Structure 1
Amino acid sequence: YEVTWSSLFVNGWKDGKENVNNMTEFSFSNAKNTPDKFKEGIKSKIDELLK
């Protein structure tokens, strides 16, 4: 994976409504120094949105 640009959003749709999740701060705080925490946080958010 690679973090580029200045933001990371993980969005989901449910019942015709978009759920916008700005994960920029979390990502830049964790991607380089604690990549396992970064990966788990992203996976957790995606799993939550898929329910």
Structure 2
Amino acid sequence: MRPPTSAALAAAASIASSATGYATAHTDHSLGTPFFIAFLLALVFATLAAAAADKD
């Protein structure tokens, strides 16, 4: 795996992990929101990783 791709995937995993921790620590709101935000950010990083892989 190329460095930009692995870096983007690591960042996406970190964001998803943070959102999971946030959702479990804050139960006074809809739990779907942090997961949805994490999904969108992971999608953005995956798109950037794919673009970087195609560029090389």
Q: Which has the larger radius of gyration?
A: 2
Task: Kindly indicate which of the two structures has a greater share of residues assigned to strand.
Answer: 1
Task: Kindly indicate which of the two structures has a greater share of residues assigned to helix.
Answer: 2
Under a length normalisation based on structure 1, what TM-score does the superposition of the two structures give? Answer: 0.49
